[in-house]
Structure 1
Amino acid sequence: MNTVTRPRILVVGAGFAGVECVRRLERKLAPHEADVTLVTPFAYQLYLPLLPQVASGVLTPQSIALSLRRSQKYRTRIIPGGAIGVDLKAKVCVIRTITDQIVDEPYDYIVLAPGSVTRTFDIPGLTDNAFGMKTLAEAAYIRDHVISQLDLADASQDPAERASRLQFVVVGGGYAGTETAACLQRLTHAAVKRYPRLDPGLIKWHLIDIAPKLMPELGEKLGRSAQEILRRRGIEVSLGVSIEKAGPTEVTFTDGRVVPTRTLIWTAGVVASPLIATLGAETVKGRLAVTAEMCLPNHDGVFALGDSAAVPDLAKGQDGAVCPPTAQHAMRQGRHVAENIVATLRNQPMRPYVHKDLGLVVDLGGKDAVSKPLGVELRGVPAQAVARGYHWSALRTNVAKARVMTNWLLNAVAGDDFVRTGFQARKPAKLKDFEYTDAYMTPEQVRAHVEGTGRIES
C-alpha cells in the first residue's frame, strides 16, 4: 500500500486511554497497515494519581511526565495541539496547535480520548481566585504558592495578613482533594519548623465537600478511617458544605463561615472535555454515549473512551451502569479500543469491554494510607505499601519507575525540601488560566469551518 490508501487513525488525547491505545496499535499493526496520528499539546503522558505528591514536593514534576518519544520504535506522528472540534460527517478534526494555528486533520478512524476538565459551578469569584489540580503546571504552581505563603507570613507585621496566608482551603472530598490536602498539610507542618517567627498553631487546613461522606467509594469504615487520620493531623473536615463565594483574601462557606485565606484549591470533580459538545451526539451526564465496544452509534470509525465516554460497565451487570473515570479503566479501555480497531481493519468481529474493578488506593503521605485492593480493607503501612506498589507498577516506563522510586527513597531519608522553584510569577495563575475551556467550537462553527475549507462537497 502507498500512503494515500493506508487507513488514517487519529487518536485525540495523550492520557491513560489515548497512550495505551497508540501503544497497542503500534504493536499490533504493521507500518503498511495504517498511519497513526496523536493529537496532544504535550509530548508526554501525565501520571495523574501522583500529582498531589508533586504539589507537596515528594516527587519532581518530570518523574510523572512520561515522554512519548523515548521508544526508538515510536512511529506515531504527534500534532502538538488540542482538538477543538470534530465534523463526524466530513471525518475531519479541527485542531488548534500550540502556536494558535487552526489545522484540519482528516481521518478514517478516530479515537476520542480527550479526558476531562475541572468541574466548576457558577460561584462568584471561583475561577478568578481558585487554583486547580489537574495539570502538571498547576501542581508545580501550587507548591510554590503554598511555600510563598509561609515566606510572606513570616515577613509580615500584620496579624490579619499573617492569619489569612496561613489558612488553606481545599474543596472536594474525593481522592484528588483528600490526597492534596493530606500531602500539602504534611509539607506545611514540616516547613513551619524552619520559620521560628511563625506560630505552628496558626496554620490551618480546611477540607470541605458538599457530600455527606468522605470518599464514599471506599465504604463506611475506610472513609471514616481516612477522616480520622486527617483530623488527627489537624485538618478540619467539613461535610455537607461548599463555597458560597470566593475572594482574593477570604472564602465564604455555605454554612455562613468566612475563612480568611489566600489559598483556595478546587478539586470538586471533573466533567468531560468540552470537545464532546462539538460533536452534536447523544451524551450521558456530559459523557459521550457509546456501545460496549466503545463505538459511537451510527458513525462508522468513531470510538470514544476514558473520562469523556459513558462506557457501559458490563462487569456490574446493572442496566445503565457506566465505568467510572479512573486510570485503571482508561488504560484497559485504550488497549481494548486498539484491539477493536485492528479487528475492524482485518474484518474480524469486535469485542465488548468488560473489566472488574481491582480496588482503590488513597495515599495520605508518610505512613498514612487507606486501600481496598480486591475488596480487602487495609490501613496504615500495609495500605501505603499497596498504594505505592500499585502506582509504581502502573508507571509505563522503567525510567519513570526509577525516578519515582528514587524520589520516594530520598524523601524518606532526607525529608521534605522547601525550595520555591520559580513557577510562582508575579501575576497569579488561577483556574481560568490553566484550562482553556473557551477555546472550543460549537457544532455549527465546526461545520461552517470545514465547509469553508472545501472539505465537504456541496
Structure 2
Amino acid sequence: MERTKILIIGGGFAGVECARGLERGLRNGEAEIGLVTPASYQLYLPLLPQVASGVLTPQSVAPPLRRMLHRTAIIPGMVVGIDPKDRVCVVRLISGELVNRRYDHLVLTPGSVTRSLDIPGLNEQARGMKTLAEAAYVRDHVIAQLDLAAASSDEDERAERLQFVVVGGGYAGTETVAGLQRLTNAAAKRYPRLDPGLIRWHLLDVAPKLMPELGDRLGRRAQQILRARGTEVSLGVSVAKAEERRITLTDNRVLPSRTLIWTAGVAASPLIGTLEAETVKGRLIVNADMTVPGHDGVYALGDAAAVPDLTKVDATCPPTAQHATRQGQHMARNLLAKLRGEAMTPYRHKDLGLVVDLGGTDAVARPLGYELSGLTAQAVTRGYHLMALRTSTAKARTVANWVLNATTGDDFVRTGFLSRRPATLQDMEATDAYLTPERARELAR
C-alpha cells in the first residue's frame, strides 16, 4: 500500500516547523514528507538587516535545512501551479525543468514577497530586503556608492550617491536604515576624500507614526534615536516617482539619490492567486484549523494565509515570524490528528510582542506588554533572536559575529554580487514565475 504523501510548499518558518513537527510525530511508514523550496536553508528574516549592514555573515541567518530535517525529502525548486482536483503540484526545479508532484495533503506556506505599488519607476529603481540575495546586493550597492563618490570630482554626482532613501517605517525599514547608516558613518572614516557630513539617510512612511505596534512611547524613542544619528524621518510621506538619479516624494520634495530601498510592507506569494480560492487582501482565507474551505486536503498558514486570530475580535494573525513558527508547529499536530482519524484543533496564540535592534547599544522592545529601551531592550532583543534560531551552529555564528563586529568593526568589502545586472524586485523575488490555473491543470495531467 502506497504511503500517504504530505507535500509542504515553502521552506520558511511555517513550512520548516511543520516538517520538524511531522518528523517528530510520524510513526515509521505512516507517511512521507516532501518540502519544496528553492533555497537549501531556512532564512531567519528578522536578522536580514544585520546581514545588509555587515554585522552578521549570511551563514548566520541561513541555517541549512539538512541540519534540521532528516526524514523530509527536500525538492529544490518552487511550486508554480496547483491542480487541487487531481492533487498535483507543478514544480519548477532550480535547473528550470518542470516536474509534477502528487500529494494527499498539501500544506501551503509560500510566504510573502515585497509589496509593490503602482508608482512610476518603482519596479526598476527600488531594491527590496526580503531575501538573502537582496540583502547582499543592498550592502554591495551602498558600499559601491561610497567608492564611486570618493572617486568622483563632480559635486552633483557625489550628492546623488551619498543620499539614501528607505521607504517603510515598520520593523524591516527601521532596522535597515539604522544598520546601514551605522555602516556608512563608520565606513566614511576610511575615505579621506569624503566629508561624512555629506552622507544623508531618509526614512519615509505614509503612516503618521513610526512602528505603531510598539506603542507611542517606544515609537517616539526609536524615532529620536534615528534622528539623533542624522536620519531624516518623514511621516505621512511616500514616493511619487522614482528615477535613476532622483526620487520625487508625495510632498513634492525631490531628493537627488541613486539608492531607493523599499520595505513598505509585504504581499502574499503570487502562488496564492493561482489557486482559484477566496482571499482577503491577497491572503488565502482559511478556517481556524488552517484548512482551506472548498479544497479538501489543502491547508494554508504563515504570511500567505489569513489565519483567524482567536485572541481578538474579527481579526487575522499578522504576517510575522512569531505566528508563522507557531502555526507550523500547530499544523503538524493537526496533520497527525487527521492521519489518525482524530479531530483537528483551531490555532490560538497570543502575540508575545516585538523587538527592534537599532544597532550598537540601542534597541526598543515590548515583550509581553512591557516597554523597554536601551541596553535592557538590546539584551532582550538579541536573546530572543538566539532562542528563535534553529541550530546551535547558527546561534554560535551569530554570537561570534556580534562580538567580532563590536570589537573589530567591519571591513566594508564589496563582493561584486550582481554588479552588472539590475536587481529588480521581480527578478530577486521571482514574482513572475507562476502559471495560470489553466496552464497548471494542463501540465498536471
Bin the TM-score by the shorter chain: over 0.9
Match of 1:221 in 2: 217
Normalized against structure 1, the TM-score is what? 0.96
Query: Match for 1:11 among 5, 8, 13?
Result: 8
Provide the rounded CA distance (Å) in 1 between the counterparts of 2:221 and 2:210: 10
Equivalent residue of 2:128, what SS?
A: coil
Match of 1:202 in 2: 198
TM-fit CA distance, 1:442: 1.9
TM-fit CA distance, 1:187: 0.4
Provide the rounded CA distance (Å) in 2 between the counterparts of 1:160 and 1:298: 59
Provide the rounded CA distance (Å) in 2 between the counterparts of 1:253 and 1:181: 18
Cα-to-partner distance string for 1:33-58 (whole Å, 9 max, x where unaligned): 00100000011100000000000000
Aligned structure 1 segments of 4 or more residues deviating by more than 3 angstroms: none
Provide the rounded CA distance (Å) in 1 between the counterparts of 2:423 and 2:104: 39
TM-fit CA distance, 1:424: 4.6
Match of 2:413 in 1: 419
Provide the rounded CA distance (Å) in 2 between the counterparts of 1:171 and 1:31: 50
Letter in 2 for 1:255: D
Equivalent residue of 2:202, what SS?
A: strand
Matched, 1:27 2:9: no
Match of 1:361 in 2: 355
Alignment of 1:57-96 (within 5 A): 57-71=54-68, 74-96=70-92
Cα-to-partner distance string for 1:66-123 (whole Å, 9 max, x where unaligned): 101125x702111111111111111111111111111111100000000000100111
Normalized against structure 2, the TM-score is what? 0.98
Equivalent residue of 2:129, what SS?
A: coil
TM-fit CA distance, 1:436: 1.4
Cα-to-partner distance string for 1:373-411 (whole Å, 9 max, x where unaligned): 000000111011111110011000000000000000111
Q: Does the 8 Å CA contact 1:145/1:424 hold for their aligned counterparts?
A: no
Q: Does the 8 Å CA contact 2:171/2:211 hold for their aligned counterparts?
A: yes
Provide the rounded CA distance (Å) in 1 between the counterparts of 2:30 and 2:40: 24
Query: Match for 2:286 among 284, 290, 294?
Result: 290
Equivalent residue of 2:201, what SS?
A: strand
Match of 1:240 in 2: 236
Match of 1:109 in 2: 105
Query: Match for 2:316 among 315, 319, 322?
Result: 322
TM-fit CA distance, 1:428: 2.8
CA RMSD of aligned residues (A): 1.0
TM-fit CA distance, 1:162: 0.6
Alignment of 1:161-310 (within 5 A): 161-310=157-306
Sequence identity percentage = 69
Provide the rounded CA distance (Å) in 2 between the counterparts of 1:103 and 1:175: 38
Unaligned residue ranges in structure 2 (runs of 5+): none
Letter in 2 for 1:357: D
Q: Does the 8 Å CA contact 2:11/2:37 hold for their aligned counterparts?
A: yes
Query: Match for 1:137 among 129, 133, 137?
Result: 133
Q: Does the 8 Å CA contact 1:84/1:440 hold for their aligned counterparts?
A: yes
Letter in 1 for 2:91: I
Q: Does the 8 Å CA contact 2:426/2:432 hold for their aligned counterparts?
A: no
Letter in 1 for 2:364: V
Equivalent residue of 2:349, what SS?
A: coil
Moved more, 94-103 or 328-337: 94-103
Provide the rounded CA distance (Å) in 1 between the counterparts of 2:219 and 2:71: 45
Provide the rounded CA distance (Å) in 2 between the counterparts of 1:19 and 1:248: 39
Cα-to-partner distance string for 1:205-231 (whole Å, 9 max, x where unaligned): 000011111111011111111111110
Cα-to-partner distance string for 1:135-187 (whole Å, 9 max, x where unaligned): 00110111111111111100101000011000000000110001000000000
Provide the rounded CA distance (Å) in 1 between the counterparts of 2:305 and 2:165: 31
Matched, 1:407 2:401: yes
Unaligned residue ranges in structure 1 (runs of 5+): 454-458
Equivalent residue of 2:354, what SS?
A: strand
